Amino acid sequence: MWFVTKFTRWSQERQLAQTYRSYAIAVGDTHPRTAPILRWIAESYNSDAYKEDNWAELEDY
């Protein structure tokens, strides 16, 4: 049976954010239009994780 806790999911989002940040760094010099898009995707994942963390804290009360 597959069981995913809320914290596991958010850590996956943070890992995805780090992956896309790494991609942005890797292609920054050769693909200057692609790098900002990859950074935006990374920030989107990071923002989602942050919002979910805050929501989880509110649910605990």
The pLDDT tens digits for 19-37 are 999 999 999 999 999 999 9
For the residues 14-18, what does the mean pLDDT come to? 93
Asked whether the beta carbons of 6 and 52 are under 8 A apart, the reply is yes
23 vs 56, more confident = 23
Compute the mean pLDDT over every residue in the chain, rounded to the nearest whole number: 84
9 vs 13, more confident = 13
Q: List the domain boundaries for the chain.
A: 7-60
Q: DSSP of the chain, one letter per residue? A: -----HHHHHHHHHHHHHHHHHHHHHHTTT-TTHHHHHHHHHHHHHHHHHHHHHHHHHHH-
Q: In this prediction, what percent of the chain has a pLDDT beyond 90?
A: 54
The token pair that represents 59 in the structure block: 């649910």
For the residues 37-60, what does the mean pLDDT come to? 86
The token pair that represents 41 in the structure block: 């995707």
